[in-house]
Amino acid sequence: MNYYQSFSIVVSNKKISSTMWEAIITSKEIADISKPGQFINILPSKKWKNVMRRPMSIAGIENDQIKLLYKVIGDGTYAMSKWKPGDVVDIIGPLGNFYSNYENYLPILIGGGTGTAPLLFLRKNMDDKKMISYLIIGARSKEEHFLSYNPDKGIYITTDNGSYGIEGTVLTALKKIFKENQNK
């Protein structure tokens, strides 16, 4: 498996919900060979003194740009939240396994929070192949979501408190999809 170390440039970095951030960075070498399910290892800042880099799932690739989703939880993601356009970031990737052999199935992708990142990359890949799939994303409240509820496009959003999309957990949405597909 090929991987590269790259000094990428931050294109954008912004808060997209009450808990989630989205960073777009460039790396032609890594973007060209990344597949849904893979990740990169990031050196969050030039001042980073910890031995370990921070692993981040790839949420999408467009041209030479890599999309990352993250929550500010510790020192590494806090440093990432301070990135500004034009900053240089040291990354290694793509690393890890990738999704395969799903073309003969009806994929239902289920996640929440940062676990959504690799699913968004996979869903875009399926959309590009004109595959039918469903995406179910759960959160506690509307403020935590960064996607729009759109069942016509196979996007189901759930909230524990019923403030957006379907009230309940991702299992509530899964049951709804099964019920809707039984009649087809």
Q: What is the mean pLDDT of residues 22-47?
A: 94
Does the pLDDT at position 14 exceed 90? yes
> What is the pLDDT at residue 184?
64
Category of 111 on φ-ψ map: left (φ > 0), alpha (ψ -120 to 50) or beta = beta
Instruction: With CA atoms as reference, report the closest residue to 134 among 101, 173, 95, 167.
Output: 173
The verdict on pTM exceeding 0.85 is yes
Distances (CA, A) of 135 to 42, 68, 164: 27, 18, 15
141 near 160, Cβ under 8 Å?
Answer: yes
Cα–Cα distance, 69 to 88 (Å, whole number): 18
SS3 state at 90: strand
155 near 149, Cβ under 8 Å?
Answer: yes
Tell me the β-bridge partners of 68.
23, 58
Does the pLDDT at position 128 exceed 90? yes
> Does 181 or 138 have the greater pLDDT score?
138
User: pLDDT > 90: what percent of the chain?
Assistant: 81
Angle at 92 between CA 87 and CA 98, to 5 degrees: 125
For residue 42, what pLDDT band results from cuts at 50, 70 and 90? very high
Does the pLDDT at position 139 exceed 70? yes
Does the pLDDT at position 1 exceed 70? no
For residue 121, what pLDDT band results from cuts at 50, 70 and 90? very high
Cα–Cα distance, 5 to 43 (Å, whole number): 11
Q: What is the mean pLDDT of residues 57-61?
A: 97
Q: pLDDT digit string (tens) for 140-169?
A: 999 999 999 999 999 999 999 999 999 999
Instruction: With CA atoms as reference, report the closest residue to 166 among 183, 145, 181.
Output: 145
Find out whether the peptide bond into 151 is cis, omega within 30 degrees of 0. no
DSSP 8-state code for residue 75: H
